[in-house]
Chains A and B, each alone.
Chain A
């Protein structure tokens, strides 16, 4: 039994990453390295207006004064920013009018990833913005959505077509000075998704962005801005993959969400960047700043994340609960296997009255993986009747991995109720035995148990993706899990 489990846990480390292929697409790359000149080149390549260039330069100059944070519970090798290519895009064909104008290799790439760019082939009810390396290549269902007044396009298009909206909201939730990687992103971001849901509109389909890093030595710096106007609703999903490479690749993104009065935003992530090989070689550094502002009363922002990829993950999708009666939620499953490291969690800042937040975090560590939950619940002085409940559980598979919990509760109001609970344990032998006794193999039993363990979070995903997430969870822990 003991042996079996060891073997099964060992098998985990031999599972191959399924999205590790590389596509040979004609690319437009700039020389590697970072300088003010590079920032100007990126801006010029995108024909950006002056104000945006100014924003980038301001950010870049500020970034030069900053140091990389050392507080995460992560071992990050030094990053040489002069070795990174900050802009790479598939070569643009003139007059991209319809689907046939897209590079066939590019189309094949997304087909292989299960993200067909042809609308008719795609999952019904899901609009996709496909981003490869630095730019968005295709946004589906754009017209259908436009009929309802919903704007869903690449960030670059938004800058051109809706400059006022971009100007008004960009940097309003994550200011350019926010942190080392957010500031870097503000200087060099290449593209991303933009979404605006007008007043009173319930977005009829899932909006989704699919991110793919393809080129070697390229950093990916996208930026997503999502605005839900009064009484609106949207459910948004992002997915990410990258080819298997021996060197590390940097991904430093920003997601900003603004929810106005009575608006609700569900933001789900299935993150499956290349995690590195079983010796810990290669893999994506996923250093992401995600934050939502519940600006209006009764607004709600809900983050759900399934984090299975990346060599190192550093992200804290957060909510600023400014509007009275607003609600913030964070549901997370983070898997670290082999030599993966994750330091992830959330920040819930209660500012308005009667604000509520819920945190459910499920960490799963296997191999030599190190998994940390880090979270802050802050109740400000005027946030009467604030409520928070946090539950952070860690599951350990094997004796070489680690699970860590760093919650911070800061309460400055006597009517607040803040509760935090956490448990850490290894997978239950009696549960496995119970399954065995019913004729279920140990391998399947672990799969069942882990999926049951993560269910609370997976259930928060849109249906189409819940199934995917479940499979992904199984694959990323294959052997020990399922």
Chain B
């Protein structure tokens, strides 16, 4: 059932007032999607809790607010971003800084990394790689139920473009530091496109940070094309303040024999909703989707995962975990769809949650929809506490109760972290999670960005 929120109206007005300005900086091809997307948004609106997929998440508190709308970067932003560029990462990675979702660089709007990968602003990518852009843009970000995807398509003005040519094996990951900063409450809608052509190999780390205490709302859409036999990993680390709302919509389209993984690590944030769509669009494709969140205070973290098995002999695995403290709330929506011809499917899903206080609340909704018979599918979900037997086992070895609890929580979280393939990042995440569990600020010691 689709129920439009009343605040939808405001965003319709926003479109009408600004569409000319937005269209002015985007490519005609991008603009050709806008009218239809606007109509679809008009039909679906901002999701309310009556929408099945948003049953447990109330967006109104962030959407029903007056924001300054950030349609394009201003010159001062370019300078700010230049200051961070390159130096930002202390991982062995190529560092990219985005400001409010934009790739704000004065020179070289599209640059080629030593490994042969092209990276830059979406609008520049649309010009320099017009044929690739037109082949992939707008093909994967589709939804019949979620108006937010269409809101982004109708009004996003720019974002990040990454092109990994055929056969390029990039061993060094790209780290994107995604900063949100403004003097006023701001609404951002970045739009990203990543094209990993066949036989390529690529990993991207996206760190979401807020740098100012203002109220921020971000509605991002990322389309990813993963060509035949290509390998693609995306790791998202979310560390935003309690007054920020981040909605990510990631659509990963896979061709045959490709392998992808997605890992959403949420350390901090006011309201976070990660929509991750995995489309297994060729035989033998494999998809791994992981998520971990640690929530406290009034935070609300919601992971929505949709794995679509459209072809035979594909494998998918989902593992999502949550630790909820104080009066935080969490939700998990996981869906496995096995289409009629997708024989030989293996699909698994697991969701485990720990409630630390009586005021915390968790809702989980794992789903299987199976239309083929030669399948092995399972899901499991638990909501509970730390295991008493394990706690005693640790205590019986002389570890005090507080430390034992911490170890168990860490172990619980580590089951997700351990799937990060980049060792330095894995260790970093373990540390951040440990800090977070101890109630300390989880900030990378050596990062130049003093986030939160």
Touch between chains A and B, by CB atoms below 8 Å: yes
Q: Hey, which chain B residues are within 8 Å of A408, CB to CB?
A: 363-365
Q: A70-B1, A405-B367 are in contact. Are A420 and B374 (CB under 8 A)?
A: no
B301 to chain A, nearest CB (A): 15
Q: Hey, which chain A residues are within 8 Å of B355, CB to CB?
A: 411, 413-414, 416
- Asked if B136 is at the interface (CB within 8 A of a chain A CB), the reply is no
> Quick check: B375 and A415 within 8 Å, CB to CB?
no
> When the two chains form the complex, which single residue of A73, A399, A422 contacts B380, counting CB atoms closer than 8 Å?
A422
Q: Which of A417-458 contact B (CB under 8 A)?
A: 417-426
Interface string of B370-410 (1 = CB under 8 A from A): 11111111111111110000000000000000000000000
Q: How far is the CA of A406 from the CA of B333 in the complex (A)?
A: 10
> Quick check: B368 and A426 within 8 Å, CB to CB?
no
> Quick check: A420 and B381 within 8 Å, CB to CB?
yes
A127 to chain B, nearest CB (A): 41
**Could you say which of A97-105, A341-349, A390-398 contacts chain B?**
A390-398
> When the two chains form the complex, which single residue of B371, B374, B377, B383 contacts A409, counting CB atoms closer than 8 Å?
B383
- Asked if A293 is at the interface (CB within 8 A of a chain B CB), the reply is no
> Quick check: B358 and A420 within 8 Å, CB to CB?
no
B297 to chain A, nearest CB (A): 16
> When the two chains form the complex, which single residue of A71, A394, A414 contacts B370, counting CB atoms closer than 8 Å?
A394
- Asked if B93 is at the interface (CB within 8 A of a chain A CB), the reply is no
- Asked if A402 is at the interface (CB within 8 A of a chain B CB), the reply is yes
Q: How far is the CA of A333 from the CA of B17 in the complex (A)?
A: 57
> Quick check: A424 and B368 within 8 Å, CB to CB?
yes
Q: A415-B385, A421-B380 are in contact. Are A399 and B340 (CB under 8 A)?
A: yes
- Asked if B362 is at the interface (CB within 8 A of a chain A CB), the reply is yes
Q: Hey, which chain A residues are within 8 Å of B1, CB to CB?
A: 70-71
- Asked if B12 is at the interface (CB within 8 A of a chain A CB), the reply is no
Q: How far is the CA of A411 from the CA of B360 in the complex (A)?
A: 9
Q: How far is the CA of A107 from the CA of B212 in the complex (A)?
A: 82
Q: How far is the CA of A413 from the CA of B360 in the complex (A)?
A: 7
B433 to chain A, nearest CB (A): 20
**Interface size in chain A (residues, C-beta < 8 A):** 36
- Asked if B369 is at the interface (CB within 8 A of a chain A CB), the reply is yes
Please tell me the size bucket of the interface on B.
35 or more
> Quick check: A419 and B384 within 8 Å, CB to CB?
yes
Interface string of A275-294 (1 = CB under 8 A from B): 00000000000000000000
A interface, over-half SS: strand
Q: A70-B1, A416-B383, A419-B384 are in contact. Are A399 and B364 (CB under 8 A)?
A: no
> Quick check: A401 and B369 within 8 Å, CB to CB?
no
Q: Hey, which chain B residues are within 8 Å of A416, CB to CB?
A: 355, 383-384
Q: How far is the CA of A409 from the CA of B364 in the complex (A)?
A: 5
Q: Which of A145-184 contact B (CB under 8 A)?
A: none
Q: How far is the CA of A421 from the CA of B351 in the complex (A)?
A: 10
- Asked if A48 is at the interface (CB within 8 A of a chain B CB), the reply is no
> Quick check: B361 and A412 within 8 Å, CB to CB?
yes
Most chain B beta carbons < 10 A, residue from A410, A414, A416, A417? A414
> When the two chains form the complex, which single residue of B357, B358, B379 contacts A422, counting CB atoms closer than 8 Å?
B379
Q: Hey, which chain A residues are within 8 Å of B48, CB to CB?
A: none
- Asked if B260 is at the interface (CB within 8 A of a chain A CB), the reply is no
- Asked if B356 is at the interface (CB within 8 A of a chain A CB), the reply is yes
> When the two chains form the complex, which single residue of A398, A407, A417, A424 contacts B378, counting CB atoms closer than 8 Å?
A424
B365 to chain A, nearest CB (A): 5
Q: How far is the CA of A419 from the CA of B379 in the complex (A)?
A: 11
Most chain A beta carbons < 10 A, residue from B1, B370, B373, B378? B373
A413, closest chain B residue (CB): B358
- Asked if B343 is at the interface (CB within 8 A of a chain A CB), the reply is yes
> Quick check: A423 and B377 within 8 Å, CB to CB?
yes
- Asked if A404 is at the interface (CB within 8 A of a chain B CB), the reply is yes
- Asked if A237 is at the interface (CB within 8 A of a chain B CB), the reply is no
- Asked if B66 is at the interface (CB within 8 A of a chain A CB), the reply is no
> When the two chains form the complex, which single residue of A71, A407, A410, A424 contacts B375, counting CB atoms closer than 8 Å?
A424
> When the two chains form the complex, which single residue of A394, A399, A405, A417 contacts B385, counting CB atoms closer than 8 Å?
A417
- Asked if A213 is at the interface (CB within 8 A of a chain B CB), the reply is no
Q: Hey, which chain B residues are within 8 Å of A407, CB to CB?
A: 365-367, 381
Q: How far is the CA of A403 from the CA of B358 in the complex (A)?
A: 36
- Asked if B52 is at the interface (CB within 8 A of a chain A CB), the reply is yes
Q: How far is the CA of A404 from the CA of B385 in the complex (A)?
A: 29
> Quick check: A401 and B384 within 8 Å, CB to CB?
no
Q: How far is the CA of A409 from the CA of B381 in the complex (A)?
A: 8
> Quick check: B382 and A420 within 8 Å, CB to CB?
yes
> When the two chains form the complex, which single residue of B343, B363, B376, B380 contacts A425, counting CB atoms closer than 8 Å?
B376
Q: Hey, which chain A residues are within 8 Å of B353, CB to CB?
A: 411
> Quick check: A399 and B384 within 8 Å, CB to CB?
no
Q: How far is the CA of A419 from the CA of B358 in the complex (A)?
A: 18
Q: Hey, which chain A residues are within 8 Å of B383, CB to CB?
A: 409, 411, 416-418
- Asked if A62 is at the interface (CB within 8 A of a chain B CB), the reply is no
Q: How far is the CA of A400 from the CA of B340 in the complex (A)?
A: 7
Most chain A beta carbons < 10 A, residue from B340, B371, B376? B371
Q: Hey, which chain A residues are within 8 Å of B382, CB to CB?
A: 417-420
Q: Hey, which chain A residues are within 8 Å of B371, CB to CB?
A: 402
Interface string of A243-275 (1 = CB under 8 A from B): 000000000000000000000000000000000
Q: A411-B362, A414-B356 are in contact. Are A406 and B367 (CB under 8 A)?
A: yes
> Quick check: A396 and B375 within 8 Å, CB to CB?
yes
Please, could you name 14 A-B residue pairs with CB atoms under 8 Å apart, sorted by A? A397-B373, A402-B370, A402-B371, A404-B369, A405-B366, A407-B365, A408-B363, A414-B357, A416-B384, A417-B384, A417-B385, A418-B381, A421-B379, A422-B380
Across chains A and B, which 6 residue pairs bring their CB atoms closest together, nearest first?
A396-B373, A414-B355, A417-B384, A405-B368, A424-B377, A411-B383
Task: List 17 extra interface pairs beyond A397-B373, A399-B343, CB under 8 A.
Answer: A381-B358, A394-B370, A396-B370, A400-B340, A405-B367, A408-B365, A409-B363, A411-B353, A411-B361, A415-B358, A418-B384, A422-B378, A424-B368, A425-B376, A425-B377, A426-B373, A426-B374
